[in-house]
Structure 1
Amino acid sequence: MRIVHVVTLVSDDGAYGGPTSVAVGQLEECAARGHEVTLVSLWRGRSPAPGRVGAVPLRSRPARALLPGRFTGIMHPLLARDLWRAMGAADAVHIHAGRDLVSLTALVVAALRRKRFVAQTHGMVEPRRSRVVRLFDRVYVPLLRRARGFLVLTERERLALAEVVGPQGPPLRPLPNGVRSRGGSAAGPRRDREVLFLARLHPRKRPEAFVEMAALVHRRVPGARFALYGADEGSLPEVLRLIAAHGLEDVVSYGGALAPAEAVRAQAEAAVYVLPSVDEPFPMTVLQALSVGTPVVCTDSCGIAEELAHRGAAAVTDGSPAALADAVCELLTDEERRHALVAAGHRAVEERFSIRAVTDRLEEIYRDLSSPGLSGVTVPVRDISR
């Protein structure tokens, strides 16, 4: 099959996060199975856009800010032409859709091309009451309803998306994110006492809680070191203030945003990965850490926390700095506990979050795009892994 995915942004710092990572992972596995794949996106970076992202051919244009908003208003006029050409030859079109100009343009082109497509919103399309969103949705939502199906991660996303598109919208089908187990192959030597934060420095990601946790751990495990990586989205000044206030300048470092390959390497080399964010729907960074054998500490509001806790595959906490610190200290000092968590994490990737299983489902969905209707019915997302 000729498969085309559309995502809003590819960048050298991984700024668009999960949707881009998911699209690339899905397409890499499709390509490994012999399908002809293309990713269409905007590009933002210090160098010209690459021709490929990993093994995936990339068709891109430089991102330009046409309207306010970090991602909402970026576009390039010639991207519409690229979408028109790419979709014309496609057997399956998969739009990773947010409320933004790229997604809107992709939906318009799919409609004009009369292409059957599936949409995956990654939790980005929820009910909003602002006047601007209501005006945008007058055009956006009718086009979104033309999808042959929506791929959803969680029950919360299913309910939110159903409210946006209405009861007569397309079927909503559960599809988890998936990763390929990497073992330790992406890593240099493991840094036995390094604790890692790898996410946007945004209030929802709670990098401040990571610094507070670091202060508590440092008192108990003086040799521990802490690294934060990610694009600043408003929290960096407070992070730096807290580092100075606790006297942690030689203990906690901020290294800016990392390119995707560098991010994987950083996770593979860390002793512990901590994601203190709240209401994280389906964090790819957690799955990636599990895939490279790095033990994970997360909060109980993470969308996959219950599954990971049940499997003993992550240290799940209430998200307070004290609870995060307790979990990190245990993993830094208890080798048996650390090994058990890593082994369970590998099993979770292989059995429930494997990109192979995800792509098996995607192939079925893509084949259905050539039939009169998308097979299957809406099912509760609690059955996502069955």
Structure 2
Amino acid sequence: MNIVQVVTLVSPDGAYGGPVRVAQNQSSELSRRGHQVQIFAGARGDVDEAYFGPGVRTRLFKALRIIPGTGFAGLCAPTMLPSLWRTLKNADVVHLHLARDLVMLPAALLCLVRGVPFVVQTHGMIDESEKMLAKILDRLLTLRVLRASQRCFWLTPEEQASLSELLGDSHRTLERLVNGVPLAEITLDQHPATAGHHE
């Protein structure tokens, strides 16, 4: 399959945390299994293009803060959108690591316009909020994206409850997805105490 993943921000200090690590582990394993994987992300600082592992095409675009005082929600990556639009033409599925920000929501809108199937993973970042910006974004786009997704993945019961509150309990695309981690390579060596000992 031709798989595209999109995440808000990659930086040398790992400021965006868990969603990037999850995208990294998922994309590396999907590539190992023979799928074609591309990751699109906003970037801040000098990031190695091999960040997401061998076989994964990493597409990084400068992240800009256009709304002061809003944390990650005020980030955008406008130069990403034309490249993503062209790539979506040949994508089989898109995995959006979705948050209420101006990197992910425009990317989601492109998926809607292109008609490409997509799944969303919210990492606990989309919940009930009294913030005016969140309410505006939800009304304009967030809820539409969640409802149009093929799957809306949750990890914790708290996240499931929040998404159910936003979407309604009858929404059928909610599904639990645990965080995959690479398997450790374990070798069975002789115990030091028995090395060289013979009966």
TM-score, normalisation: structure 1: 0.45
Deviation per CA, 1:82-113, whole angstroms, max 9, x where unpaired?
22122221111110001111111111000110
Counterpart of 2:91 in structure 1 is 90
Name the SS of the counterpart of 1:98 in structure 2.
coil
The 5 A counterparts of 1:281-300 are none
Q: Gapped runs of 5+ residues in structure 1?
A: 186-386
Closer, same or farther in 2 for the Cα pair 1:168/1:110, shift >3 Å?
A: farther
Deviation per CA, 1:319-350, whole angstroms, max 9, x where unpaired?
xxxxxxxxxxxxxxxxxxxxxxxxxxxxxxxx
Percent pairwise identity: 39
Counterpart of 1:337 in structure 2 is none
Closer, same or farther in 2 for the Cα pair 1:169/1:102, shift >3 Å?
A: farther
Residue type at the aligned position of 2:168:
G
Alpha-carbon contact 1:125-1:164 (below 8 Å) kept? no
Residue type at the aligned position of 1:115:
V
Q: Bigger shift: 175-184 or 121-130? A: 175-184
The 5 A counterparts of 1:337-356 are none
Deviation of 1:176 (Å): 0.3
Counterpart of 2:193 in structure 1 is none
Deviation per CA, 1:155-188, whole angstroms, max 9, x where unpaired?
2111111111234534111110011133589xxx
Alpha-carbon contact 1:107-1:144 (below 8 Å) kept? no
Name the SS of the counterpart of 1:37 in structure 2.
strand
The 5 A counterparts of 1:298-337 are none
Residue type at the aligned position of 2:9:
L
Counterpart of 2:128 in structure 1 is 127
User: Cα RMSD (Å) of the superposition?
Assistant: 1.7
Counterpart of 2:174 in structure 1 is 172
Closer, same or farther in 2 for the Cα pair 1:100/1:184, shift >3 Å?
A: farther
Counterpart of 2:194 in structure 1 is none
The 5 A counterparts of 1:1-386 are 1-45=1-45, 47=46, 49-53=47-51, 54-55=53-54, 56-68=56-68, 69-139=70-140, 140-167=142-169, 169-182=171-184
Q: Structure 2 CA distance, aligned partners of 1:101 and 1:150? A: 19
Q: Structure 1 CA distance, aligned partners of 2:85 and 2:10? A: 19
Alpha-carbon contact 2:42-2:60 (below 8 Å) kept? yes
Closer, same or farther in 2 for the Cα pair 1:70/1:83, shift >3 Å?
A: same
Name the SS of the counterpart of 1:72 in structure 2.
helix
Name the SS of the counterpart of 2:72 in structure 1.
coil
Deviation per CA, 1:184-225, whole angstroms, max 9, x where unpaired?
89xxxxxxxxxxxxxxxxxxxxxxxxxxxxxxxxxxxxxxxx
Q: Structure 2 CA distance, aligned partners of 1:184 and 1:127? A: 43
Alpha-carbon contact 2:95-2:120 (below 8 Å) kept? yes
Closer, same or farther in 2 for the Cα pair 1:123/1:168, shift >3 Å?
A: same
Q: Structure 1 CA distance, aligned partners of 2:145 and 2:175? A: 18
Q: Structure 2 CA distance, aligned partners of 1:169 and 1:11? A: 35
Q: Structure 2 CA distance, aligned partners of 1:51 and 1:176? A: 27
Q: Structure 2 CA distance, aligned partners of 1:24 and 1:170? A: 27
Q: Which has the higher helix share?
A: 1
Deviation of 1:52 (Å): 2.5
Name the SS of the counterpart of 1:134 in structure 2.
helix
Alpha-carbon contact 2:97-2:123 (below 8 Å) kept? yes
Q: Structure 1 CA distance, aligned partners of 2:180 and 2:57? A: 20
Alpha-carbon contact 1:40-1:83 (below 8 Å) kept? yes
Residue type at the aligned position of 2:182:
R
Computing the radius of gyration over CA atoms, which structure comes out larger, 1 or 2?
1
Deviation per CA, 1:218-268, whole angstroms, max 9, x where unpaired?
xxxxxxxxxxxxxxxxxxxxxxxxxxxxxxxxxxxxxxxxxxxxxxxxxxx
Deviation of 1:51 (Å): 2.7
Q: Gapped runs of 5+ residues in structure 2?
A: 188-199
